C-alpha cells in the first residue's frame, strides 16, 4: 500500500513540474486581443509528443499545461488573418522552433497576427459614375485561371474583396444590364474582355490594394434555351455555370418528366449545364457564341465509381488508400472531400488525390474506358460520365531526399525546408510545393516522391511568390526508387 501511495505521489509531482506554456494573441495593427484564435503546439520530428490545439480566451490569452520536454513550433490561425508562428521574422514567414527543457517550468509568448490582403476598387459606367450592386470576381493568375472569390459593389459602385493570400490576382466585373437595358460584358481590370488584356493586381499582408477601377464594356449578351428531362419520380434541378458564377435555372418536379428552361443575359464563351437529383445527374458543356435553342439535357441514373487499385500495374495488389475528390467547374474548384464508399459523382470534371503513405506514390490514374487524364499539383483530373470506372496505379518505388541543414557548419534545429517539383519545359512552372521541418539535429527528410525535377532550399524568410529565390535552390532530378542525400546551407536574409 505504501508503495502505491509513493508511486501516485511521484506521478503527481512529475505533473506539477511539467512545463506550462502561456501567451497572448494580438492584432498587429490595433494591439487588441484576438479572442477565440486557434493555437497549436506542434512537436518537431524526433520529439515524442502529440500536437495540442486549443482556443484562446476572450482576452486572447492561452495556456497549455503539462508540456513534455522537446522541440516545438507554436502556431496560431484565425479567419481573415495570416497564419502566424512564434518567433517569425515577419508576417507570413515560418517561426523559430524552441526547446522545452527538463528543468523549464513555464514559457510565455506574445504572438501578433496580421490580416490577409484585400483588393478594392470601383466599377464605373461611361461617365465615371459607380454602378451599384454589380458583381465582381477574383481569379488566380496561374493558368488555367480559376475563380476564387466574388462580391458586389455598394451603392457607390465600390467593391472590396478580402481574405486574400499574398500574391497576384486577376479582377473582373460580371455581366448584367443597366437601368435602360443596355448589356455589359464581363470585363477585366484594367480594360477589355479578353484575358490577354487583364492586368494582375498584387496583394500583400495587412494591406488593401486599392484603385482597381473597372469600366465594363458594352456588348451583346446571349440567350440559351432547351428542355430538362428527368425520371419523373424525383425532383431534378438544372444549374447553368459560367466563369462568372452559376444560376439555378429550372426545377423539374414529379410526376413530370420534362420541363423547358430559358437563360438570358449569358456572356459569350463556355457554359456548363449540370442536372442533379437524388441518385441521378447529367452534364453538358457548350460554347455559346450566339443565341441557342433546342439544348437537351437529362438526369440519368448514377453509380458509384468503380475504382481498381493496382501497384506497379499488378491487379493482385491489395492496397487501398483514402481518396480525395474535388469538382472543377467553370466558376472554380469545390473544396476537397473524402470519397465515400458508395458515393456517386455527378457527371463533369473531377480531380482525384490518393492519400498514400511514404512507401508509395501515385504513378497515374486513368479511366478504364481509355479517357486521357491531366496532372496538377498532385491531383489527377478527368471528365466522368454516368458509370465511371477508374484505375489508380501506385508505385512502390518512390524517391526520397534526406540531408542536414547547417549554417556556419552548425546544424539548424527545426529549420523550415521547401521542396518544389517543377516543369523545366513550361518556363520552370511549379507543379507542387512540399514543406517540412528539420528535427532538433537539423536532419530533414522528404519521402513518397514521384520521379521528376526538384529544387530544395531552407530559409526562415521564404516567399513562395519569389521565383528568383528558387533559382538559388539546389537542383535534383529524381528517378523511381532514388534515395538522394542533399546537404543544405540555411539561406539567410
Q: 215 lies in a domain?
A: no
Query: Is residue 39 within a helix (H) or strand (E), and if so which, with residue range?
Result: strand 38-43
Task: Give the integer Cα–Cα distance in Å for 482 and 400.
Answer: 6
- Overall average pLDDT of the 197-222 stretch: 95
- Pick the more confident residue, 315 or 488: 488
Q: Clarify whether residues 390 and 408 are in a common domain.
A: no
CA distances from 340 to 317, 364, 446 (A): 21, 21, 29
pLDDT for 10 equals 40
Task: Give the integer Cα–Cα distance in Å for 64 and 161.
Answer: 36
For the chain, percent of residues with pLDDT exceeding 90: 83
Task: Give the integer Cα–Cα distance in Å for 24 and 31.
Answer: 11
Please say which residue of 270, 301, 332 terminates a domain: 301
The answer to whether residue 2 scores a pLDDT higher than 90 is no
Q: 49 lies in a domain?
A: yes
The answer to whether residue 15 scores a pLDDT higher than 50 is no
pLDDT for 316 equals 76
pLDDT for 16 equals 45
Task: Give the integer Cα–Cα distance in Å for 278 and 282.
Answer: 12
Q: Clarify whether residues 134 and 86 are in a common domain.
A: no
Q: Clarify whether residues 370 and 439 are in a common domain.
A: no
Q: Clarify whether residues 11 and 90 are in a common domain.
A: yes
Count of structural domains within the chain: 5
Going 389 to 395 to 401 to 402, the CA torsion angle's sign is: positive
Count of positions (residues) in the chain: 493
Q: Clarify whether residues 337 and 408 are in a common domain.
A: no
Q: Clarify whether residues 344 and 251 are in a common domain.
A: no
Closest to 350 (Cα-Cα) out of 320, 309, 400, 388: 388
- Overall average pLDDT of the 250-259 stretch: 96
CATH number for the domain that contains residue 441 = 2.60.40.10
Q: 24 lies in a domain?
A: yes
The answer to whether residue 230 scores a pLDDT higher than 50 is yes
Q: 214 lies in a domain?
A: no
pLDDT band at 1 (very low <50, low <70, confident <90, very high): very low
The answer to whether residue 7 scores a pLDDT higher than 70 is no
CATH number for the domain that contains residue 344 = 2.60.40
Q: Are 76 and 84 in contact (CB under 8 A)?
A: yes
Q: Clarify whether residues 10 and 94 are in a common domain.
A: yes
Q: Clarify whether residues 11 and 99 are in a common domain.
A: yes
- Overall average pLDDT of the 427-438 stretch: 92
Instruction: Give me the chain's average pLDDT, please.
Output: 92
Residues 74-129: tens digit of each pLDDT: 999 999 999 999 999 999 999 999 999 988 778 999 999 999 999 999 999 999 99
Please say which residue of 361, 395, 429 terminates a domain: 395
Q: Clarify whether residues 454 and 378 are in a common domain.
A: no
Q: 216 lies in a domain?
A: no
Task: Give the integer Cα–Cα distance in Å for 37 and 59.
Answer: 10
Task: Give the integer Cα–Cα distance in Å for 339 and 11.
Answer: 45
Cis peptide before 144 (omega within 30 of 0): yes
Q: Clarify whether residues 175 and 130 are in a common domain.
A: yes
Q: Clarify whether residues 386 and 421 are in a common domain.
A: no
Q: Clarify whether residues 109 and 7 are in a common domain.
A: yes
What are the grid coordinates assigned to 190, written together? 484594367
Entry pTM: 0.87
- Overall average pLDDT of the 180-188 stretch: 96
For the chain, percent of residues with pLDDT exceeding 70: 96
Please say which residue of 344, 375, 395 terminates a domain: 395
* Residue range(s) defining the domain that contains residue 146: 117-209
The answer to whether residue 183 scores a pLDDT higher than 60 is yes
Task: Give the integer Cα–Cα distance in Å for 316 and 457.
Answer: 40
Q: 217 lies in a domain?
A: no
DSSP output for 216-280: PPB---EEEEEEEE--SSS-EEEEEEETTEEEEEEEE-TT--EEEEEEEEEPSEEEEEEEEETTE
pLDDT for 17 equals 59
Cis peptide before 255 (omega within 30 of 0): yes
Q: 30 lies in a domain?
A: yes
Task: Give the integer Cα–Cα distance in Å for 73 and 95.
Answer: 7
Residues 262-278: tens digit of each pLDDT: 999 999 999 999 999 99
- Overall average pLDDT of the 175-202 stretch: 94
Amino acid at each position: 500500500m505504501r508503495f502505491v501511495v509513493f508511486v501516485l505521489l511521484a506521478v503527481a509531482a512529475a505533473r506539477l513540474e511539467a512545463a506550462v506554456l502561456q501567451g497572448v494573441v494580438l492584432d498587429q495593427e490595433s494591439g487588441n486581443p484576438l479572442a477565440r484564435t486557434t493555437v497549436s503546439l506542434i512537436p518537431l520530428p524526433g520529439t515524442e509528443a502529440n500536437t495540442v490545439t486549443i482556443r484562446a480566451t476572450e482576452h486572447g490569452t492561452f495556456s497549455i499545461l503539462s508540456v513534455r520536454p522537446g522541440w516545438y513550433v507554436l502556431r496560431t490561425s484565425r479567419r481573415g488573418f495570416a497564419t502566424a508562428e512564434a518567433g517569425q521574422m515577419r508576417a507570413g514567414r515560418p517561426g523559430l522552433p524552441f526547446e522545452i527543457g527538463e528543468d523549464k517550468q513555464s514559457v510565455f509568448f506574445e504572438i501578433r497576427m496580421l490580416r490577409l490582403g484585400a483588393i478594392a476598387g470601383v466599377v464605373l459606367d461611361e461617365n465615371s459614375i459607380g454602378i451599384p450592386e454589380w458583381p465582381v470576381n477574383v481569379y488566380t493568375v496561374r493558368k488555367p485561371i480559376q475563380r476564387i472569390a466574388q462580391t458586389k459593389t455598394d451603392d457607390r459602385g465600390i467593391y472590396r474583396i478580402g481574405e486574400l493570400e499574398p500574391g497576384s490576382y486577376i479582377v473582373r466585373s460580371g455581366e448584367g444590364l443597366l437601368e435602360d437595358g443596355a448589356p455589359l460584358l464581363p470585363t477585366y481590370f484594367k480594360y477589355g474582355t479578353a484575358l490577354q488584356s487583364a492586368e494582375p493586381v498584387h496583394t500583400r499582408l495587412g494591406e488593401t490594394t486599392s484603385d482597381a477601377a473597372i469600366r465594363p464594356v458594352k456588348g451583346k449578351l446571349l440567350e440559351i434555351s432547351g428542355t430538362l428531362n428527368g425520371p419523373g419520380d424525383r425532383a431534378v434541378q438544372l444549374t447553368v455555370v459560367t466563369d462568372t458564377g452559376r444560376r439555378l435555372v429550372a426545377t423539374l418536379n414529379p410526376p413530370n418528366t420534362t420541363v423547358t428552361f430559358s437563360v438570358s443575359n449569358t456572356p459569350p464563351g463556355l457554359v456548363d449545364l449540370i442536372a442533379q437529383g437524388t441518385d441521378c445527374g447529367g452534364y453538358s458543356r457548350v460554347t455559346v457564341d450566339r443565341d441557342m435553342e433546342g439544348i437537351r439535357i437529362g438526369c440519368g441514373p448514377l453509380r458509384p465509381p468503380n475504382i481498381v487499385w493496382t501497384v506497379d500495374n499488378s491487379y493482385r495488389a491489395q492496397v487501398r488508400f483514402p481518396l480525395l475528390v474535388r469538382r472543377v467547374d467553370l466558376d472554380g474548384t469545390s473544396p476537397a472531400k473524402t470519397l465515400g464508399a458508395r458515393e456517386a459523382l455527378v457527371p463533369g470534371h473531377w480531380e482525384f488525390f490518393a492519400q498514400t503513405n511514404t512507401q508509395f506514390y501515385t504513378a497515374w490514374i486513368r479511366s478504364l474506358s481509355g479517357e486521357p487524364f491531366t496532372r496538377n499539383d498532385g491531383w489527377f483530373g478527368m471528365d466522368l460520365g454516368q458509370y465511371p470506372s477508374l484505375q489508380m496505379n501506385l508505385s512502390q518505388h518512390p524517391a526520397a531526399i534526406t540531408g542536414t541543414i547547417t549554417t556556419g557548419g552548425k546544424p539548424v534545429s527545426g529549420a523550415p525546408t521547401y521542396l518544389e517539383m517543377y516543369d523545366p519545359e513550361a518556363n520552370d512552372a511549379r507543379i507542387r510545393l512540399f514543406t517540412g521541418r528539420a528535427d532538433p539535429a537539423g536532419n530533414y527528410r522528404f519521402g513518397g516522391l514521384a520521379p521528376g525535377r526538384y529544387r530544395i532550399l531552407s530559409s526562415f524568410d521564404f516567399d513562395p511568390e519569389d521565383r528568383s529565390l528558387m533559382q538559388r535552390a539546389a537542383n535534383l532530378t529524381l528517378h523511381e526508387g532514388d534515395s538522394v542525400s542533399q546537404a543544405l546551407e540555411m539561406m539567410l536574409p
